Structure 1
Amino acid sequence: MESVMKKGCEIEAKCINYKVDVEKTSHPFRIWSREEELSSPNPVDEEQKVGMVKRAKHVLKNVSCRARPWEILAIVGPSGAGKSSLLEILAGRIIPQTSNILVNQKPIDRILFKKISGYVTQKDTLFPLLTVEETLLFSARLKLKLPYSERVDKVESLIKELGLEHIAHSRIGNEKIRGISGGERRRVSIGVDVIHDPAVLLLDEPTSGLDSTSALQIIDMLKLMAEIHGRTVILSIHQPGFKIIKLFNSVLLLANGSVLHHGTTQQLQNHLVSAGLEIPMHVNIIEFAIDAVDDIRKQLPQYQYEEARNKGTLQQLFRLNKAVEGSFDEGGGFSSEWICANSRIKEIIILMERFAKSTFRTKELFAVRTLQMLIAGLVLGTIFHDLNRSITGQQERIGLFAFILTFLLSCTTEALPIFLQEREILMKEISSGSYRISSYVIANGLVFLPFLLILALLFSIPLYWLVGLTRSFSAFLYFVLIIWLVLYTANSVVACFSALASNFIIGNSVIAGVMGSFFLFSGYFISKDQIPRYWIFMHYISLFKYPFEAFMVNEFSSWKGCLGYKFGRCLMTGEDVLKGQGLGEADRWRSVMYMICFIVAYRFFSYIILRCRCSHGSLKQLLV
């Protein structure tokens, strides 16, 4: 990597062709669209077509370009020109139909290129409750193999380079949480992607949404990074100002997916003048060229950028329609095999620490949820206070158990916004190779365990003893265990469907529908014998069935006396209650085992779905 930085990276690309299939209408009930994960800011207009036949839209047409170290290449053009698509192809996010990318005149594969590059998306995907310093430190821990002292020094020097010393201990914030400004947030996003000293830095509209002063500061900072560190900076930008244009070494003008100019702004001005176009004094050259793309195409239909036209060796350097996997940087020792900076265990520890800081600072989640569980336990305990051991008490206990499960499993969406926010960050970090998806899933699952245990205790302690359930400490501990597993099962369900759903509304609706279906087939409203044969599978996969049975066994297995008499004869015992449900002492730990299996299954499903999302593939492709 050091040898790469010394001589820099010259990026060459030629004959990039990228097509996308356009459907006539979208599916109104689709909850998972892989296209949204590509985050392409080039919306494809819906085209008319016959029946359901797909039509291809040519997003990029034979695009060729070159970017040099110590320089900034700006990709400009009107909306829908293909700027962001080109950047995502260069970053390895999208695989076009034909393309070839060379680094220092040598072919390189996508995985290897991610090691020497950084890609800053248009949207700032950061944890809003972490500070600037914490954000960069976690990024350094995930991407760098350095001792603690060196890692801290590197983060401090980067903070100074980004001009963020005065807000190093301020939280990032977002639209809802007060934090740093938009320009400062954009600098943090850049810092996250340059913490590993990439030789190439790609940025998708880094000035989007910023005022002119902040935009100029961002581009000026990128210019310094290019000149000081020898980085190759490639960025897309929309309507740059006069001062910003002066910082560009070269520009690539795109229109409708085709290259209209590649060279300096002075060369662009000369071509426009030679084409008979007069540039007004108050309009900068790039804005004028974007407005005049139709005239440029008419006047210069055969124009190709001069540098590529004058170099005949490019024909020898590129091989079209062939996936090339080779080494890069003589003596650099790079291979195409992906190697993460940390072991799996270390990744899990780092991610758990980051999740814990971000999650435990969410006051709405912890304060409200904690009060909710404590108050619910107290209210239920006073409503069902001191139930007696009779047939009526037995029925009231069964009703209490059913309500507990309904309450705990129905109010499970409190973590859904957190999971959805983390998914956006996950997609970005996985694409840059910061860690493994399996490490994320494991860390995400472990970090909630202590919090859910606290909730289970706060709910169980007042409820259990006020109601007068089985007076045994072992039975109480088993009751707490079941409540804990129920909460964790619900959390796992939310994690699974948050990976599947595209937004909070869809995720909330799907989770509510699934939980309602599980409750219906739990056996409380309709017995297992009365459920139609073609629906019986729902009874066995219901999340209500096994904790309900665990409650029943824990409570009634210790009832030795008679619950009621009629004409001197015992009508029912605790054992009769369990036999009526088809339960016995053997079901005590069997139910726990099934609940753990559900937890593992939903976590595994979330892993599979996230793998599909990150690879932009289908479930069938992943399993095959």
Structure 2
Amino acid sequence: MVMNYCHKNEMAMAWLDMCCVQNSLFCGPSKTILNSLNGCINFHTLTALMGPSGAGKTTLLKCINMRPNCGLTSDSQMFVNKYTDLRTCFIMQSSDEHLFMGLTVRESLLFASRIKNRSSKRELNYRDSYAQTGTSLLNLNDVREDGSDESYESTAVTMEKWSDPYDKNGNFDHNMNIMKILQELLLEDCADNAVHTCSGGEQKRLSVGLELVQQIKPNLLCIDEPTSGLDSNASEMVIQCLKQLSDRHRMAIVTSIHQPNSLLLSMFDQLYVLSKGGHCVFAGRPNHLRDHLTTCDINCAEDILPIEMLLKISSKFPNNSYNKYSKTNGSNNVEDETMTINNNNNEIDRLIDITIKQVPDIVAECQTNGRFVSKSINKHTKYFNFYHFYYLLMRGITCFIRSEWRVSAALATFSIVVAVMLIYLYGTDIGQENGCMDLYAAAVAVANRTPTQVSSLEQSLRLLSQESKVSLNLKCQFFVVVFLQFVSMACTILVFPSEVRIFLNEHHNKWYSTSSYFWSKFMLEIPVSIVISYVYSFIIYYGTGQLSDAYRYAYFTLIVTFGMSIANSAGTLVGIIFARSFQVATTSGVVLFLVLVLLSGFFVPLTIQHEIIRSSSYLSFIKLTFEAIMVSIYGIDRCESTQISIMLHQLELNDDDLTINSYWIVGHLIVWRLLALLALIYRANDWSIANLIQRQNKAKQLTTTTVMTDNKSITFTANYLNTDNKSTSDT
């Protein structure tokens, strides 16, 4: 039995005058998503966000979760409990954005537990007391403003604390920990099943369980549509588990949900309903909904569920101009939603007016137990940690062995098939000719030539190189480079965005750092690239009859491997930038690769191009790897001292270019990897210049709020209360 020592109605978070504006591209009109919302959620409660499609439920959920770049305006006021350190997490609607399908349910929880828990019992108990109560163990006798003893929260914990999953030596027992989670979420029967074989309800509950495996659990859990796509029985199990979690672990759980049946609705402690235009039309207990409609002079028949009546009314825009930003900023900057409003929606106006009357109660609660937060909830920044790196690498290896190997196997198969086709098309002896010409004979011819003879000699050299097997080898090696790099880049673009979405959710919920994930992913790609490149290079090199010099083959294999790694890095960068759209990512990757092919100088010689184009060609890793391969085949003293390599002469290459291009290739690998890492950091932290400027100016422009923590007073001049004098009371 779990004993809790905290107030059932204790505030977790509140918001006043919350407005969310979505800026459009190309300086077009902006759109108001949330409009002057006010509300409060408490610990030990399960709250449902409801409303018609497009009302802003998911946006409000992200704002409650205090995610950056959620679009809050400078006048939005957010408050958290000043006695408790608020720990938030967000669970997306799709389970694919949280779960690795190659793992079992038990393995998913086990890896999450190992990544999130590594403290000893003594250290954790101290941190748990502070995290649960916001006070140190040294301040057990602190007294609240209302005179109540704060020591009941410092003892925190509950009887559950003494049943924490630790062994007799004080080490965290991960197996015992996940057994508790499996029992709480009713997942024991499918614990050893692969994730992709689980039902939708089981995957939803597993997504929740992944966020609850740490010892210091989040106390504000935001879930986007946990019952979406589930039948009534599965939905009931999910909501029942969430209800038990909120009661047992001192959590405030907020979910967005579509029309539930009466049984599901009765499981929620609080209901928050939005209308079109982002207005609140009801905030309270579900069993008070019929009385709320009656107060607003809305008749609801006994055979009609009140929530159905309310949602039907909420699908309309209000008549009165409640849009604060459409009045202050003008119609040039913000889309005035009230211009398209029907004039017969008096019911929705009355609902909004009655809901506004609850604002004084929320203000009083913020004044008593709230702490104003100007930017976001303080979350500890994660840095590179070898412990996280190791278990992320182990998780990646497990997923690769279980399911992700199919992509690499397909890539290896295609590479082998193409290599065999190239051997069949070009022959097995194209690499046997050395392509050398006697230098002394050429010098004599040049010494006694006329301008016409010079031109004829150069034409003869070009004709000879084009018609010989050396020219065929040139074309074959270019296709070898282009094919492997293109398919490697394409596979990465197609596969990596799905993994990026899982990473972003885990990173936002503070599992690990960006660098720990990035380098574990890079280490996982290295052996795969080496194996595929080695097999591909071996078949091509010896199948086309190249020289059997070990050092030439070593150069050839290393260059092909580095080229494949660079292409993977470029694909990773494109996949990160366009992670939200496979179509845009694929198109951008193809365009980028074609531009690099044009800069390689194979189709149009760079010698006749402008100096800017010739300098830009070093941005093409295709050019660098192709030239390095040609030097490794026809250079390095393949021709005698009295001879000249026709192919290298035509390409204007020499032995020194192998070293120079090798440096460029290594530099490309480093630069592309660093660019991918920076893009991942940018995406993971939701950086936005406009957002940073807006949030930095918020405290300066916030004239409606004065916070004085010394004398525990908060003064509000809520302009939204003045829009309707009859709906306002003296605060």
Secondary structure in structure 1 of the residue aligned to 2:103: coil
Q: CA deviation at 1:599?
A: 1.5
Secondary structure in structure 1 of the residue aligned to 2:355: coil
Which residue of 2 is the match for residue 610 of structure 1?
680
CA distance in 2, matches of 1:410, 1:324: 43
CA distance in 1, matches of 2:638, 2:56: 76
Q: CA deviation at 1:424?
A: 1.0
Secondary structure in structure 2 of the residue aligned to 1:470: coil
Contact 1:609/1:619, CA 8 A, preserved across alignment: no
The structure with more radius of gyration: 2
Secondary structure in structure 1 of the residue aligned to 2:18: strand
2:263 matches 1:243: yes
1:270-289 equivalences in 2 (<5 Å): 270-289=291-310
Q: CA deviation at 1:415?
A: 2.6
CA distance in 2, matches of 1:356, 1:100: 45
Q: CA deviation at 1:74?
A: 1.7
Which residue of 2 is the match for residue 137 of structure 1?
110
CA distance in 2, matches of 1:451, 1:619: 38
Which residue of 2 is the match for residue 470 of structure 1?
547
Which residue of 2 is the match for residue 120 of structure 1?
91
Contact 1:100/1:320, CA 8 A, preserved across alignment: no
Which residue of 2 is the match for residue 261 of structure 1?
282
> Residues 484 and 300 of structure 1: is their aligned pair in 2 closer, same or farther, counting only changes over 3 Å?
closer
2:653 matches 1:583: yes
Which residue of 2 is the match for residue 403 of structure 1?
479
TM-score by length of 1: 0.83
Which residue of 2 is the match for residue 353 of structure 1?
394
> Residues 10 and 621 of structure 1: is their aligned pair in 2 closer, same or farther, counting only changes over 3 Å?
closer
Q: Determine which of 671, 674, 681 is the counterpart of 1:601.
A: 671
1:187-226 equivalences in 2 (<5 Å): 187-196=205-214, 197-226=217-246
Larger RCO, structures 1/2 (Cα 8 Å, 6+ apart)? 2
Which residue of 2 is the match for residue 538 of structure 1?
616
Contact 1:374/1:459, CA 8 A, preserved across alignment: yes
Which residue of 1 is the match for residue 411 of structure 2?
369
1:331-480 equivalences in 2 (<5 Å): 336=378, 338-340=380-382, 343-360=384-401, 361-382=403-424, 383-387=426-430, 388-391=432-435, 392-412=468-488, 413-480=490-557
Which residue of 2 is the match for residue 304 of structure 1?
355
Which one-letter code corresponds to 1:67 in the other structure? I
Contact 1:120/1:190, CA 8 A, preserved across alignment: yes
> Residues 235 and 618 of structure 1: is their aligned pair in 2 closer, same or farther, counting only changes over 3 Å?
closer
Compare 419-428 and 145-154 and name the one that shifted more.
145-154
Q: CA deviation at 1:530?
A: 0.7
Which residue of 2 is the match for residue 494 of structure 1?
571
Q: Determine which of 515, 528, 546 is the counterpart of 2:606.
A: 528
CA deviations on 1:516-573 (whole Å, 9 max, x unpaired) are 222222122222211123422331111222112211221122454579xxxxxx8x53
Secondary structure in structure 2 of the residue aligned to 1:468: coil
Which residue of 2 is the match for residue 104 of structure 1?
81
Secondary structure in structure 2 of the residue aligned to 1:617: coil
Which one-letter code corresponds to 2:92 in the other structure? T
Q: CA deviation at 1:448?
A: 0.8
Contact 1:14/1:62, CA 8 A, preserved across alignment: no
Secondary structure in structure 1 of the residue aligned to 2:353: coil
Contact 1:559/1:573, CA 8 A, preserved across alignment: no
Which residue of 1 is the match for residue 367 of structure 2?
316
Secondary structure in structure 2 of the residue aligned to 1:409: helix
Contact 2:46/2:243, CA 8 A, preserved across alignment: yes
Contact 2:427/2:544, CA 8 A, preserved across alignment: yes
Which residue of 1 is the match for residue 200 of structure 2?
182
CA distance in 2, matches of 1:621, 1:221: 37
Which residue of 1 is the match for residue 195 of structure 2?
172
CA distance in 1, matches of 2:389, 2:684: 19
Contact 1:21/1:54, CA 8 A, preserved across alignment: no
CA distance in 2, matches of 1:603, 1:497: 12
Q: CA deviation at 1:497?
A: 0.7
Q: CA deviation at 1:56?
A: 3.5
CA distance in 2, matches of 1:591, 1:296: 73
Q: CA deviation at 1:619?
A: 7.7
1:75-114 equivalences in 2 (<5 Å): 75-93=49-67, 94=70, 96-97=72-73, 98-105=75-82, 113=86
CA distance in 2, matches of 1:56, 1:543: 42
Contact 1:612/1:619, CA 8 A, preserved across alignment: no
CA distance in 2, matches of 1:261, 1:620: 33
User: Gaps spanning 5+ residues in structure 1: where?
Assistant: 27-51, 174-178, 327-335, 564-569
Contact 2:115/2:512, CA 8 A, preserved across alignment: yes
Q: CA deviation at 1:242?
A: 0.7
Q: CA deviation at 1:22?
A: 4.9
Between the two proteins, what is the percent identity of the paired residues? Answer: 21
CA deviations on 1:303-340 (whole Å, 9 max, x unpaired) are 137765446634635999972789xxxxxxxxx46243
Contact 1:381/1:467, CA 8 A, preserved across alignment: yes
Contact 1:260/1:296, CA 8 A, preserved across alignment: no
> Residues 537 and 310 of structure 1: is their aligned pair in 2 closer, same or farther, counting only changes over 3 Å?
same
CA distance in 2, matches of 1:619, 1:487: 34
User: Gaps spanning 5+ residues in structure 2: where?
Assistant: 121-170, 315-344, 436-467, 693-731
> Residues 276 and 577 of structure 1: is their aligned pair in 2 closer, same or farther, counting only changes over 3 Å?
closer
Instruction: Count how many residue pairs are aligned between Structure 1 and Structure 2.
Output: 566
Which residue of 2 is the match for residue 176 of structure 1?
none
CA distance in 2, matches of 1:70, 1:549: 66
CA distance in 2, matches of 1:306, 1:230: 29
CA deviations on 1:217-237 (whole Å, 9 max, x unpaired) are 111111111122222222221
Which residue of 1 is the match for residue 130 of structure 2?
none
Q: CA deviation at 1:191?
A: 1.1
Contact 1:5/1:230, CA 8 A, preserved across alignment: no
> Residues 620 and 349 of structure 1: is their aligned pair in 2 closer, same or farther, counting only changes over 3 Å?
farther
Q: Determine which of 54, 69, 75 is the counterpart of 2:43.
A: 69
> Residues 592 and 207 of structure 1: is their aligned pair in 2 closer, same or farther, counting only changes over 3 Å?
same
Contact 1:200/1:233, CA 8 A, preserved across alignment: yes
> Residues 356 and 620 of structure 1: is their aligned pair in 2 closer, same or farther, counting only changes over 3 Å?
farther
CA distance in 2, matches of 1:578, 1:345: 47
Q: CA deviation at 1:100?
A: 3.3
Which residue of 2 is the match for residue 31 of structure 1?
none
Which residue of 2 is the match for residue 555 of structure 1?
633
CA distance in 1, matches of 2:388, 2:653: 43
Which residue of 2 is the match for residue 153 of structure 1?
176
Which residue of 2 is the match for residue 41 of structure 1?
none
Which one-letter code corresponds to 2:418 in the other structure? A
Secondary structure in structure 2 of the residue aligned to 1:55: coil
Which one-letter code corresponds to 2:279 in the other structure? S
Compare 451-460 and 4-13 and name the one that shifted more.
4-13
Secondary structure in structure 1 of the residue aligned to 2:47: strand
CA distance in 1, matches of 2:396, 2:358: 49
CA distance in 2, matches of 1:389, 1:593: 29
Which residue of 1 is the match for residue 153 of structure 2?
none
Contact 1:19/1:56, CA 8 A, preserved across alignment: no
Q: CA deviation at 1:454?
A: 0.7
Q: Determine which of 31, 55, 59 is the counterpart of 2:33.
A: 59
CA distance in 2, matches of 1:95, 1:434: 25
CA distance in 1, matches of 2:483, 2:105: 39
Contact 1:77/1:254, CA 8 A, preserved across alignment: yes
